Structure 1
Amino acid sequence: MAFPFINSIISWFLKKRKHQVELFLKYPIDVQNEVLLKLINTAKNTEFGKQYDFSAIISYEDFSSKVPIQKYESIEPSIERCRKGEQNIFWPTQIRWFAKSSGTTNAKSKFIPVSDEAIENCHFKAGKDMLCLYINNNEDAQLFTGKGLRLGGSSAVYEDNNSYFGDLSAIIIENMPFWADFSSAPKQEVALMSEWETKMEAIINETIHENITSLAGVPSWMLVLLNKVLEKTGKENILEVWPNLEVYFHGGVNFSPYIDQYKKLIPKKDFRYYEIYNASEGFFAIQDRNNSDELLLMLDYGIFYEFIPMSEYDGENSTAIPLSEVTTDVNYALVITTNAGLWRYLIGDTIKFTSIDPYRIKITGRTKHYINVFGEELIIENAEEGLKAACEKTNASIKDYTVGPIFMNDTAQGAHEWIIEFDKAPDNLDFFTELLDNYLKNCNSDYEAKRYNNMTLSMPKVHKARKGLFYDWLKVKGKLGGQHKVPRLSNKREFIEELLNL
């Protein structure tokens, strides 16, 4: 059988990239400066490059003083012109692809430009690196004796004025070389189906008889797929369906609330979980060690990084710092400049460095995705760690959740209202709520101060959601699919009210 031979050849080929990774590990700042100057030089004759005098920029200091920090709303008019066919606005090569992204908080769609350079030198390169790092850490890996099951977004690609838009995953699939179809499942026509539930059924029918060795996708949606696989096959666990499964590459949402359910579904002691950090705007970081919860920031994908300490965050008026000035354990908003023509773009994510030699990070949340109605500064990292601690002590597990404020009135203090869909509910919800509240007080001094003697914030109010509530809510909103996420924390009651009504 040729499979082991093919596995060896592909593994050898992927391992070669490790030497380039070692180069940016050794000279991170040099590599980043080189990326910045190359981007500026490439785009100096674009409309944007002329407006901000790129020809005169020879250092990071020049760049940060001449070019403003920008949110999507600021660049939307330029993107719309590009979508209508104008070129050389913010990037010199033709941009035909736009990744449609609603993010998690904003109902309005964003159209993120995706250049050929970004597809090739960022997204494809990162896909290879993900495999390279995994294979270098696991000499006995047999990934290429079977297929990888990828669960992407739900939309097909649509044409508009000779430009194309859709989920990033659909754009990647459309641009994949023909041979990639041989090593992955489902096949292209199924992967690009737009109706999510029909597509899910088609994926299951195609893959249950394949030798699947790896999984890739967002944890919440992959969980739906795996449970449906067990339903369809009548098996007890996923290894009875795919005995050679060895790794799950996941990203998009925090994995902590899902890990126990995955361990039940895939009861294999040495099964590997590898986290990735990618978005419509680019591919940023990859877990580079087994059993780690830190991600290596990838510095040679044509993306230049800057960071705004969240303690000083003021949107587009913020002052950013380069990689050379970051420190560990500070919450930063991420600012990117990319080979698709995003210049000092505020992506909306927050990260924290766990190490600066090499530069490893953890994703901590969103700049919009926190609750600060009462000055409590509650971020996703606090919420997810609190849920994890409460689950461990009550032997519970969580499928989905969201949190919003209960506003103060004349007779009552404010509070946080949680809707949690449990995979396994705690025996005593009040005890669970108390554990969650205590953890949040311990890890967040602002929250603790507002909870002191119930002066500003009362005890959290926790609802146990019915089974399938979040799935039904996303379905009603037309947001079923691999790239749509449940908003976790909000300063408004909009999501809470909609869910309570359902």
Structure 2
Amino acid sequence: MLDSILTWAVQRRLASIEHFRQHPHEVQHGLHQSLLHTARNTEVGRQYGFADKLSGREFAERVPVSSYEELYPLLERVLRGEADVLWPGKVQWFAKSSGTTNARSKFIPVTRESLHDGHYRAGRDMTALATLHYPEVQILGGKTLSLGGTHGPNPLRPHDAASRVGDVSAVIMQNLPTWAEYVRTPPLELALLDEWEEKIKRIAGHVLHADVRVLAGVPTWMIVLLRRVMELAGTNNILDVWPRLGLFLHGAVAFGPYRALFRQLIPSGQMHYQEVYNASEGYLALQDEPNSEDLLLLLDHGIYYEFLPADQWDEPIPRAIPLEAVELSKRYAVVISTNAGLWRYKIGDTVRFTSLAPYRIRITGRTKHFLNAFGEEVVVENAEAAVSAACQATNTTVRDFTAAPIYFAGAADGSRGGHQWLIEFTQPPQDTMRFAAVLDSTLRQLNSDYDAKRHRDLALLPPVLTVATPGQFERWLAQRGKLGGQHKVPRLSNSRDILDEILAIA
């Protein structure tokens, strides 16, 4: 009966989903006006005249597009406890993630509105669609095993116990509504532990005899947990432990490289997979059709969207276009204005539209080269700083380099991934192992997400260093007709295509 009541409650969102599918521009316009009206008396609202009921065009003319680094002076004041800067009131919660060029972590404000009208509303949408498409799983009759991060004190307000920073999943779990907390496992005291080895061990023991029907989290850590649970149960089939398991809600990294491994761990034709696009900045999209990899753009969840065409990414004053002007198959950088006080903010992700009625997207990458196969979010600035530190430590210099993932099938024990670095030196270091060790330790210092994945080798193995032969990168560029000019080898890639092509050149 409880399953039926909860299913009826969440499926009430289906009508709202259909409404913004059918009326996307009206919904976005209304949301935009609501955001401006709410923030009209903030410092930013007064500076740009939000009380003037700006049209989308006027808003774009007055408010500049900003990166995290450009917005940080205002964000820092919010972190320090100033009220009414970007959004009304004082913000107490902040989502922590990597990807910034000027600090180890980014801190994104998470307001009450962004939690309830964004993340939780999208969570209900996700659940409503899952109960609609996969009724046989009866997902609300059992437990959802959600695996997230942790949170801690605000580093700029260490004595303010009410202000916390952490992984967005931890922020969400800590503030979940009662009905959602009822259907999830493990309890918060385990889910929010910060020592990952102890966390995996204790969660595995707790959920061993639970009625788990849904998995939710990043594939990287979920694989580690599933293996630990099977080890405790003495089986190589997780369905022996959870016979009613039927759905995995996944996000944060591309799922393609993990699909085969999950089919090995969960050998069932009745297992379903649903992708979500949930970032520290908000809940942007989710998979709304079972047999499609496209993601439905969420339009009434506290986010007003604009998009930067590729030719605008590097412009000093980029010109974004509204949702109604996007075209199919073109790459766009996502710009958002949100109910957390992010105004015309470049989140760094790129997408292409696969449908305009309704608006569906696929994530295509980042505006900068990056490596995020396992949730590590290494950006090119991290990579170049780490290579530089390793060169200094081993008294050598580098001509060129590139890095790509080693996915699970290529890892020594078949359960963890890693990074392979192909580096052409002017003179190879006498101690290549030290070079790799300094590279690794510097990345851990610079990037908190990489450091978390590397902790005790739980999810990410140490980097593998391959020394390139002299001229190997140039020969690859020559084969592609890209010698000279501004052409260069991409530093980082989420695919092994480029690395394998270069490795194939003798």
TM, length-normalised to structure 1: 0.76
Structure 1 portions without partners, runs of 5+: 371-378, 385-397, 427-465, 494-502
Query: Per-residue deviation at 1:269?
Result: 0.5
- Say which SS state the counterpart of residue 210 (structure 1) adopts: coil
Which residue of the other structure, out of 118, 125, 137, is the alignment partner of 1:122?
Answer: 118
- 8 Å CA contact 1:284–1:298 kept in 2: the answer is yes
Which residue of the other structure, out of 395, 409, 416, is the alignment partner of 1:423?
Answer: 409
Is 1:97–2:93 an aligned residue pair? Answer: yes
Alignment of 1:217-236 (within 5 A): 217-236=217-236
Query: Per-residue deviation at 1:140?
Result: 2.7
What is the alpha-carbon distance in structure 2 between the residues aligned to residue 420 and residue 400 of structure 1?
A: 13
What is the alpha-carbon distance in structure 1 between the residues aligned to residue 460 and residue 335 of structure 2?
A: 24
The alignment yields a C-alpha RMSD, in angstroms, of 3.5
The equivalent of 2:18 in structure 1 is: 22
Per-residue CA shift, 1:49-83, capped at 9, x if unaligned?
Answer: 11111122431011000000011112212122122
The equivalent of 2:67 in structure 1 is: 71
What is the alpha-carbon distance in structure 2 between the residues aligned to residue 95 and residue 40 of structure 1?
A: 18
What is the alpha-carbon distance in structure 1 between the residues aligned to residue 377 and residue 189 of structure 2?
A: 33
- Say which SS state the counterpart of residue 245 (structure 1) adopts: coil
Which residue of the other structure, out of 67, 73, 86, is the alignment partner of 2:82?
Answer: 86
Alignment of 1:81-480 (within 5 A): 81-103=77-99, 108-156=104-152, 158=154, 160=158, 161=160, 162-314=162-314, 317-369=317-369, 416-418=402-404, 420-424=406-410, 479-480=451-452
Distance 1:289 1:48, change over 3 A: same
- 8 Å CA contact 1:157–1:171 kept in 2: the answer is no
Structure 2 portions without partners, runs of 5+: 389-397, 413-435, 464-488, 494-506
Per-residue CA shift, 1:468-488, capped at 9, x if unaligned?
Answer: x99998699763269999899
The equivalent of 1:451 in structure 2 is: none
Task: Output the amino acid matched with 1:200.
Answer: I
Per-residue CA shift, 1:173-225, capped at 9, x if unaligned?
Answer: 22113443321111011111111111111110110110100000011111111
- Say which SS state the counterpart of residue 197 (structure 1) adopts: helix
| 310-319 or 484-493, larger mean C-alpha shift | 484-493
What is the alpha-carbon distance in structure 2 between the residues aligned to residue 255 and residue 470 of structure 1?
A: 25
Task: Output the amino acid matched with 2:255.
Answer: F
- 8 Å CA contact 1:130–1:286 kept in 2: the answer is yes
Per-residue CA shift, 1:353-400, capped at 9, x if unaligned?
Answer: 111111001111111125xxxxxxxx99xxx9xxxxxxxxxxxxx999
- Say which SS state the counterpart of residue 317 (structure 1) adopts: coil
Task: Output the amino acid matched with 2:409.
Answer: D
Which residue of the other structure, out of 37, 57, 77, is the alignment partner of 1:41?
Answer: 37
Query: Per-residue deviation at 1:414?
Result: 6.0
The equivalent of 2:470 in structure 1 is: none
What is the alpha-carbon distance in structure 1 between the residues aligned to residue 245 and residue 22 of structure 2?
A: 34
Per-residue CA shift, 1:260-294, capped at 9, x if unaligned?
Answer: 00011111102110000011100000100113211
What is the alpha-carbon distance in structure 1 between the residues aligned to residue 252 and residue 300 of structure 2?
A: 22
Task: Output the amino acid matched with 2:406.
Answer: I
TM, length-normalised to structure 2: 0.75
Task: Output the amino acid matched with 1:240.
Answer: D
- 8 Å CA contact 1:399–1:422 kept in 2: the answer is no
What is the alpha-carbon distance in structure 1 between the residues aligned to residue 287 and residue 197 of structure 2?
A: 31
- 8 Å CA contact 2:328–2:356 kept in 1: the answer is yes
Percent of residue pairs identical: 42
What is the alpha-carbon distance in structure 1 between the residues aligned to residue 376 and residue 82 of structure 2?
A: 42
| 186-195 or 361-370, larger mean C-alpha shift | 361-370
- 8 Å CA contact 1:250–1:274 kept in 2: the answer is yes
- 8 Å CA contact 1:333–1:349 kept in 2: the answer is yes
What is the alpha-carbon distance in structure 2 between the residues aligned to residue 400 and residue 366 of structure 1?
A: 14
The equivalent of 2:5 in structure 1 is: 9
Query: Per-residue deviation at 1:311?
Result: 3.2
- Say which SS state the counterpart of residue 480 (structure 1) adopts: helix
